Structure formats: C-alpha cells, structure tokens
C-alpha cells in the first residue's frame, strides 16, 4: 500500500502539478493538508 501526503497552500495554483504527481506516483491513499 502506498500512502502519499502533500502539504499545499493555495491548491488552485498548484493543482496541475499535484495531478501530474499523482498520475506518476499512483498512491493508494492521498492525504492533502
């Protein structure tokens, strides 16, 4: 099981980067803080 956490300030500005990262890493669980 792969768990990923991402600390984001202003999600809207970083959403493309986040989606690209999620596509590459393919985690089972994502925690956004």
Tokens read off for 23: 């596509």
Spatial contact of 31 and 7, defined as CB atoms under 8 Å apart: no
Q: Could you tell me how many helices (H) and strands (E) the chain has, helices first?
A: 1, 2
The pLDDT profile of the chain, 33 residues, written as one tens digit per residue, is 999 998 888 778 888 988 999 999 999 999 988
Give the C-alpha separation, 1 to 16, whole Å.
24
How much is the pLDDT for 18? 87
The Cα 2–Cα 12 span in angstroms is 25
């Amino acid at each position: 099981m792969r768990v990923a956490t991402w600390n984001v300030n202003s999600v809207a500005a970083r959403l493309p980067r986040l989606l690209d990262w999620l596509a590459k890493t393919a985690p089972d669980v994502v925690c956004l803080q």
